[in-house]
Chains A and B, each alone.
Chain A
Amino acid sequence: MEIVLSLAIGVLSASGIWLILRPRSFQVIVGLCLLSYAVNLFIFSMGRLTLSAPAIMPKGGFVDPTRYADPLPQALVLTAIVISFATTALFLVVMIASRGFTGTDHVDGREREQP
C-alpha cells in the first residue's frame, strides 16, 4: 500500500509541477489543483496508513490510541481541502478578469515576445 500511495503522490506532484510551469493560466490552475491533491495526500500519509479504523471513539471506557487512525493530519487536511477550494476560486476569477482586461490567457498578461 505504502509504495502505491507514495508513487501516486509522486505522479500527482510531477504533473502538478509540470503544469504550473506552463504559460497558459488554465494549465496553471489545473496544476495547482493536482498539486493540492498531492500535498493533501502527503500530509495525510504523515499519520501513517491505517485500514478500517477511522477515528470514531466508543462512548466512554478506555481508549487505546494505537488502534485508530491519527486524527490530527486528517483535521489539518480537512481545512486544507476547503482552503484550496477558496484559492482555486480566487485564482479562477483573477484569471478571467485578467483575460478580459488584457485579451490573452498568458500568465503574464501578454504573449512572449519573439526573439
Chain B
Amino acid sequence: MLKGTWVLPRRALGRLATERLQPQLRLLVALSLVLAIAAIGARFPWAPPARVTDFSPAFALMWLIGGACAVGAAWQAKYHRFAALAMLGGAGLVTCLTFAWLSAPDLAVTQLLVEVVTTVLLLLGLRWLPQRRAGLPEDNLASARRRRIRDLVMAVAGGSGIALVAHSVMTRPLVPNVGDWFLANAYYEGGGTNVVNVILVDFRAFDTFGEIAVLAIVGLTVYSLLRRFRPAPESVDQPNQQQATSQQALDDYLMVPSVIMLWMFPVLIMVAAYFFFRGHDLPGGGFAAGVTMAIAFLLQYLATNVRWVEARLTILPIRWMGIGLLIAAGTGMGSWIFGYPFLSAHARYVSIPLIGDVPAATAMLFDLGVFALVVGATVLMLIAIAHQSLRAARLREQDDAAPAAKEIR
C-alpha cells in the first residue's frame, strides 16, 4: 500500500513527464482537442445561422492576404526569419484593419501601435540568433518528416475546430448581457462617452491596475535578465552587412529618413497628448498614448545611435514606471478619503478660462498613471535589448585594444 504511493506516481512520471518542450506542448494541444471534442462534439448546434452581416468581397480579399501572410510566416520562420517577421506584421495589420472595420477603433489604434513596437523588438532580437543559410541535415530524416506530418494534422484540426466554434457563436443572436449596462451607464456614471475607455479606467479599473503591474514586472524582469546577458561568441562580431561597407557609408546610412525621424519627435509627443486627452470620450486613451510616446523615444534611437541619444536625452524609464504606478495607486487610494472603495472614480466638468467646460474625471488621473507606466516599461525593454549591441561593440573594442596594448608595452 505504502509502496504504491510512490511507485505509481513514479511510473506515471516516467511515462508522461519529459524535460523537452515540444512533447509537452504536443500533449497540451492534443489534450485540449480531445477535451473540446468530448465536451461539445455530440451536442454541437448545427442549426442554420440566425444572425449574419452582409458579405463583403473587400473584407474577404483582405483576409486572403492576411491568411496567406500567416501561412507564409509559419512556412518561412525556420530559415528566413526576416521574411517571416515581415509576414507576421502583415497578418497583424490585417487584424488591426479588422478591428477598425468591425467598430472597434480603440483596438485598431492599440493593435497598430503595439504592432510597431513588437516588430522593432523582434528585429532587435534577430541579431542574436545563429545564422542559418542551408538546410539542417536532420530535417530530411524520416522521423522528422513523420513529426511534421503529425504536427500539421494537429494544427489543421485545432484551427478548424476553433473556426467552427467561432462561427457558431458569431451567428447566434446576442443575449442581453453586462455590456448593455456598461453602454447605458458609461456617460452617467463614468462621465465619458468612449465606453471601452470608461470600462478600462473606471468600471474595471482594478483589472487595469493589475495589468499595468504585470507590465511593470515584465519590464523589470527583462532589464535584470539582460544585465547578466552573455551573447553567443559568434554574434559578438559586427554584422556581415556592416563589415562589407566603409565607415563613411555607415555614418551617412539612411541620412534623410533619420533627419525626418529626429524632427518627428515633437510631433509624436503631440500625437501622444492628443490620444491621451481625447481618450475618455473618443478612441485613444492611456495605453495608445503611452505606446505612441515610447515610439517617439524609440525613433530617436533608430535615427541615430545609442551614444548620440543618451548624450542629449535622459529618459530614466524606471522612474517613469515608478511614478506611473504611484499615480495609479494614489488615485485609487484617494477614494478612501471620501469613504468609497478602492479605485472609485468621480467625474465632473470644470470650466477653465479661454477653453471652456472640460471634463475632469479622476479616471483621467488613473489613465495618466497607465500612460506613464506604459511609456516606462516599453522604453525600458527596448532600450535594454538595444544596449546589448553597444555592449557587443564595447567587447569588440576591448578585443581590438588588447593586442595593441601588449605591443606598446
Q: Which of A55-69 contact B (CB under 8 A)?
A: 55-60, 63, 65-66, 68-69
Residue B376 at the chain A interface, CB threshold 8 Å:
no
Report yes or no: A2 in contact with B29, Cβ–Cβ below 8 A. Answer: no
- A8 nearest CB neighbor, chain B only: B63
Residue B252 at the chain A interface, CB threshold 8 Å:
no
Q: Which of A15-36 contact B (CB under 8 A)?
A: 15-24, 26-31, 33-34
Q: Could you say which residues of chain B place their CB within 8 Å of the CB of A44?
A: 99, 102, 104, 107
In the bound assembly, the distance between CA atoms of A89 and B221 in angstroms comes to 10
In the bound assembly, the distance between CA atoms of A22 and B240 in angstroms comes to 27
What does DSSP make chain A's interface, helix, strand, loop or mixed? helix
B366-409 near A? 1/0 per residue, CB < 8 Å: 00000000100110010011001000000000000000000000
In the bound assembly, the distance between CA atoms of A93 and B117 in angstroms comes to 15
Give chain B nearest CB distance to A77 CB in angstroms: 6
In the bound assembly, the distance between CA atoms of A84 and B196 in angstroms comes to 19
Report yes or no: A6 in contact with B193, Cβ–Cβ below 8 A. Answer: no
- When the two chains form the complex, which single residue of B91, B104, B164, B229 contacts A54, counting CB atoms closer than 8 Å? B104
- A89 nearest CB neighbor, chain B only: B381
Report yes or no: B155 in contact with A99, Cβ–Cβ below 8 A. Answer: no
Number of interface residues of A (CB under 8 A): 94
Report yes or no: A53 in contact with B103, Cβ–Cβ below 8 A. Answer: yes
Give chain B nearest CB distance to A27 CB in angstroms: 4
Give chain B nearest CB distance to A30 CB in angstroms: 5
B320-356 near A? 1/0 per residue, CB < 8 Å: 0000000000000000000000000000000000000
Give chain B nearest CB distance to A66 CB in angstroms: 8
Report yes or no: A71 in contact with B179, Cβ–Cβ below 8 A. Answer: yes
Report yes or no: B103 in contact with A51, Cβ–Cβ below 8 A. Answer: yes
Residue B317 at the chain A interface, CB threshold 8 Å:
no
- B111 nearest CB neighbor, chain A only: A81
- When the two chains form the complex, which single residue of B92, B130, B152, B162 contacts A9, counting CB atoms closer than 8 Å? B162
- When the two chains form the complex, which single residue of A58, A60, A89 contacts B222, counting CB atoms closer than 8 Å? A89
Give chain A nearest CB distance to B245 CB in angstroms: 25
Q: Could you say which residues of chain A place their CB within 8 Å of the CB of B374?
A: 82
Report yes or no: A79 in contact with B207, Cβ–Cβ below 8 A. Answer: yes
In the bound assembly, the distance between CA atoms of A20 and B32 in angstroms comes to 15
Give chain A nearest CB distance to B83 CB in angstroms: 11
Give chain B nearest CB distance to A14 CB in angstroms: 3
Give chain A nearest CB distance to B215 CB in angstroms: 5
Residue B138 at the chain A interface, CB threshold 8 Å:
yes
- When the two chains form the complex, which single residue of B54, B174, B196 contacts A74, counting CB atoms closer than 8 Å? B196
Report yes or no: B118 in contact with A88, Cβ–Cβ below 8 A. Answer: yes
- A96 nearest CB neighbor, chain B only: B128
Report yes or no: A65 in contact with B151, Cβ–Cβ below 8 A. Answer: no
- A9 nearest CB neighbor, chain B only: B166
Known contacts A11-B70, A42-B166, A93-B222; is A2 also within 8 Å of B179 by CB? Answer: no
- A12 nearest CB neighbor, chain B only: B70
B residues lining the A interface (CB < 8 Å): 19-22, 25-26, 29, 49, 51-56, 59-60, 63, 66-67, 70-71, 73-74, 77-78, 81, 84-85, 88, 91-92, 94-95, 98-99, 101-107, 110-111, 114, 117-118, 121-122, 125-126, 128-130, 138, 143, 151-152, 154-156, 158-160, 162-164, 166-167, 169-171, 174, 176-180, 182-184, 186-187, 193-196, 199-200, 204, 207-208, 211, 214-215, 218-219, 221-222, 225-226, 229-232, 235, 281-283, 287, 374, 377-378, 381, 384-385, 388
Q: Offer 11 A-B interface pairs, CB within 8 angstroms, sorted by A.
A: A5-B170, A6-B163, A6-B166, A7-B163, A13-B158, A14-B158, A37-B70, A54-B103, A75-B199, A88-B118, A93-B385
Supplied contacts A9-B166, A77-B104, 13 more A-B pairs, CB within 8 Å:
A33-B118, A51-B101, A56-B193, A59-B193, A68-B195, A71-B179, A71-B199, A81-B110, A85-B118, A88-B122, A99-B128, A99-B232, A107-B21
